[in-house]
Amino acid sequence: EVQLVESGGGLVKPGSSLKLSCVASGFTFSSYGMHWIRQAPKKGLEWIALIYYDSSNKYYADSVKGRFTISRDNSKNTLYLEMNSLRSEDTAMYYCAKSPVRRVSFDYWGQGVMVTVSS
Amino acid sequence: DIQMTQSPPVLSASVGDRVTLSCKASQNINKNLDWYQQKHGEAPKLLIYYTNNLQTGIPSRFSGSGSGTDYTLTISSLQPEDVATYYCYQYNSGPLTFGSGTKLEIK
């Protein structure tokens, strides 16, 4: 059974940093692209970052480019999102999601982790 | 960026109704479109990929169609468990974008 479990969220002040983790199980993690997607309270979904299976390519939404970094450790079956210079508008539920082969869809999602940026 | 416009924002229908949700892209997305269902308090779930392909485990009352800029999700016979917000999503070109969602309610 595919499982994605996020952690690392919490309440932080504007301008601070936070690192999210997503531990994967039930599939060969090193073979699939992975994403971070977020959802602000009572708002829609926003894709924010993609990393290829081998970390050869990374892509970001303009809203987080230069502030957030996606990475992965295939030996630990873990996806990361390092978030710097956090703003109030970064307050959201953050989901990690797995891509199927040859398609940039999201076939499995984690349960999400909440990040709140507030003074 | 490709904008995805979903209509209507809220849809109220009765159990057993045939329901159609619409999604319009700001440019041709070559059928590179998925539909996701998000129930209250849960993570989204993939329903339909590449316009009209049913994800494994999804009931056959869900179907998708479309081409070019116009896409639809159809539920052939609405069930109480289908209450959710439905999002379309395009992956034809970056940045990857979702529609704003259609909230489906039971009348």
Q: Report pLDDT for A47.
A: 98
Rounded to an integer, the average pLDDT of B31-44 is: 97
Q: Distance (Å, rounded) from C-alpha A18 to C-alpha A116?
A: 11
Q: Could you tell me which of A42, A71, A67, A40 has the C-alpha nearest to residue A54?
A: A71
Q: Report pLDDT for B94.
A: 85
Question: How far does CA B48 lie from the centroid of its chain?
Answer: 8
Q: Distance (Å, rounded) from C-alpha B71 to C-alpha B33?
A: 8
- Do residues B10 and B86 make contact, with C-beta atoms less than 8 angstroms apart? no
Residue with tokens 């690392």: A8
Find the CB nearest A47 among B49, B95, B100. Answer: B95
CB proximity under 8 Å: A 60-79 to B: 61-62
Sign of CA dihedral A117, A108, B64, B59: negative
Question: Hey, what are B54's tokens?
Answer: 């049913």
Query: Half-sphere exposure of residue B33, counting CA atoms within 13 Å on the CB side?
Result: 34
Find the CB nearest A112 among B36, B43, B50. Answer: B43
Q: Report pLDDT for A87.
A: 98
Q: Does A52 touch chain B (CB under 8 A)?
A: no
Nearest-CA distance B68 → chain A (Å)? 18
- Do residues B68 and B60 make contact, with C-beta atoms less than 8 angstroms apart? no
* Burial per residue of B19-39, b for 16 or more beta-carbon CB atoms within 10 angstroms, e otherwise: bebbbbbeeebebbbbbbbbe
Q: Report pLDDT for A37.
A: 98
Q: Which residues of B touch A (CB under 8 A)?
A: 34, 36, 38, 43-46, 49-50, 55, 87, 89, 91, 94-101
Q: Distance (Å, rounded) from C-alpha B54 to C-alpha B61?
A: 10
**CB spacing of B98 vs A95 below 8 angstroms:** no
- Do residues A23 and A4 make contact, with C-beta atoms less than 8 angstroms apart? yes
Each residue's pLDDT expressed in tens, for chain A with a length of 119 residues:
999 999 999 999 999 999 999 999 999 999 999 999 999 999 999 999 999 999 999 999 999 999 999 999 999 999 999 999 999 999 999 999 999 988 899 999 999 999 999 99
Interface test with B, best of A45, A52, A103 (most B CBs within 10 A): A45
Residue with tokens 């056959």: B60
Pairing of strands B70-75, B62-67: antiparallel
Q: Distance (Å, rounded) from C-alpha A114 to C-alpha A91?
A: 8
